[in-house]
Structure 1
Amino acid sequence: MLKRVLMCVMTIAVGAGAANARDVPGGKDHPLIGRYDGAALTLYKTSDYAEQNILTKPITSADRRATGKRLNVANSVPAAGRSFRIRYDGPAGRSPLEVARNFQSGLKAKGFDILFECKGGECSDLSGSELYFALQDESPLGKGDIHSNPGSQVFTAAKLTRAEGDVYATIYVGDFNKAPEVLVDVVETAPMDEGKIVFVDAAKMQKDIDATGRVALYGILFDFDQATIRPDSQPTLNEIAKYLGANPSVKLIVAGHSDWKGGFDYNIDLSKRRAEAVVKALTGMGVATARLRPFGAGPAAPVASNVGESGRAKNRRVELVKAE
C-alpha cells in the first residue's frame, strides 16, 4: 500500500504542473511529459518536422571514430516528426537522480517503455561530458543551454507505441548551482508532408540542362543521416540513365547538396558520399564511370532558407551539372 501511495505522489510530481512566473513566454509543458513540481520552464523550441537520433546505448570511442558523431547508427535509433526541446530549472535542493526517477515513473504511468538509462560516467567510455556535447551540438533544434556536470547527470530515453505514431522522449537531468537542470526532447513521429516537389523525368532533365547547364533532383532519397539510397529513388535513377542514353556525349558532375544541420565539415562529407552513391548506382545500371564525377557541395549552395523544415527540404538535393 505504501509503495502504491509513493508511486502516485511521484507521478503527480511530473504531471501537468502549474506555470511558474519565470516561464519563458509562449512555453508550455509537453502533455505526455509534464514538469517536475516547482520547476521553471526556461527554453521552448519546436519544429513541425525534424529528424534526430535517440540515444539508446552509451557513447563509445570506437563508434565515434567510425562515424565522426557522438549520436550515430551504432548507439541510436532515428526518429522524425514534430519535435520539442524544453528546458527546466529547479527547484533547488532536489537531486538529479530524484528528479529523473520521478520523470521515469511518470513516463511508465503513461505507457512509455524505458529504452535506455545511464548515470554519470556510464553514459560514455570517453569523457563524461560526451553526453552533454551530444545533446548540445547534435540536435536539429539547436543548443539546450544546459551546463556540463557529468558526475551528476542522469539520462533517460523512452518510447510510447501508439496507433497515430510513436512518441520518443529523452530526459537529461544534471546539477547546476545545487539545483537540477532538466532538458526534455520529444519527437512525435509522423510521415513528412510529401508530394511538394515535382518528379523530374528525362525530358525535364534535358530541358533544364540545355537551358541552364544543371538540373536539381529531389527524387533521390537517402536513409536518415546516411549515404544509403532508398529503393523509392529508382524511378529518378532510371530517368537519369534514360537522359544519358539519349545524350551519349554528355558528361555530368553529380553534386550532393545538404542543409546546415550537423555542421559544415560533416555535411560536406555526407553530401560527397551521397554523390558517390549515386554514381555507383548509375554505373551499376550500365553508365560509363568516365561520364560521371561525384562532388560534395554540402550546405554551400542553398536554394532556400535553412530556418524552417520546408526550406531545408529544398536544400537537400542532388544536382546534375553538365561538365563542359
Structure 2
Amino acid sequence: MSEPTFPLPPHRLSVVVPMYNEKDNAKLQIDAVQDALQDYPQPWELIVVDDGSTDGTPRALRQRAAELGDHIHVVELRRNFRQTAAMQAGIDTARGDVIVTMDGDLQNDPRDIPKLVSRLLTEDLDMVAGWRQKRQDGFLLRKLPSMIANRLIRKVSGLEFKDLGCSLKAFRGDVLRQVRLYGEMHRFIPAWLATVTSPGRMAEEPVRHHARVMGESKYGISRTFRVIVDLLAMHYFLRFGTRPGHFFGGFGLILSSLGGLMLAYLGVLKLLGENVGGRPLLWLGFFSVLAGVQMLTTGVLAEILMRSYFDQSGARSYHVKQPDPRSTDEGWHGQGSTDAAV
C-alpha cells in the first residue's frame, strides 16, 4: 500500500540523526531515510552525526554516504559528547528552512516525516512533535522512566505534551536556531522552545514506532535521575533566565525577614529581662540574616553578569520572526526548485 500524500508548501528540509555505536543500524538508517524521501517534492538533505562511536559506525556512515550522494552529510565528533551535543552539531550544520530530528536506532519511522512537515507548514506552527501512541519498548527500562520523566517535565514546564521524549520532531529552522542545547536538554526541547515562541504554535502528531532489532539501547532507569537535575536547571532558566536577581533576591528577602523576626523576638525577651544568649534561636536568626544578605548580594552580582552578557554579546532578551539566512545550493536532493523558501 502506497504512503498517503500530504500538502507540502515550498521549503528546504534538513533531517538530523545523531548516532552512537550503531554500526549495524548505520547503513539501514540512511537507506530508510533515502527510501522515505526519494520522491519528496522539495529539496532535502540528511545530516548524520556520529557521536564519537568506537564500533565502526563512522566508517559505515561514510561509505554509504559516498554511495548515495552529497545530500548525505556525515558529521564526526571527536569523542562522545552525548546525544544533546550531537543533536546541536547537526542543527548547526543544517541549512534547511525546516529541520526534522530523529533517533538513529530505526525505531522512529522516516515515513512519518512528510506528515509532520505538512502539518508544521500548513498550520503555520513552529514545532510538531511525534507521539508514539503504540510504543514498542520494554516497560521497566524504557516506558517507566519515560512516563516518570514526561510527568515531571509537564509539571515543571506546563506543556501538556503526551510524549516529550520522542526524538522525531519537525521544527521551523529559524525558531529552533534561536535555542542552544546543552547538557541533556534534548529531552526538554519543547520547553526551551517555549522561551522563543508561544506554546500555541506547537503541536503533537501520532507517529509510528518500531521495536529495536539490532544494537543496544543507550537508555535506562538512571536517566530519570538526570532528568530531575536538568528539570531544576530548566525551571530556573525558564522563570529567571533574564532576571536572576528576582530568584536570588526572593530567597534572600525570605531568609533575612525570617532571621530578622527571630532576632526581634529575642530582643523583646532580652528587654523583658530574660537570658537569650544560650538559645538556639539566636544562632538560627543570626545565620538566617547572614544567608539572606549573601543571597541578595548574589542576586545583584547575577544581574550585573546578565546585563554585561547582553550588552557585550549582542544577545537579546526577546526573539522575533525573521527569514532564515540562505546558504549554498550544492548538496540538495529532490525535485523542487532550490529557490524555495517557507
Q: Which has the larger radius of gyration?
A: 2
Structure number with the bigger relative contact order (C-alpha 8 A, sep ≥ 6) is: 2
The verdict on a shared fold, with TM-score over 0.5 as the criterion, is no
Q: Which has the higher strand share?
A: 1
**TM-score bin, normalised by smaller chain:** under 0.3
Greater share of helix: 2
TM-score when normalising by structure 1: 0.26
User: Which TM-score applies when normalising by structure 2?
Assistant: 0.25
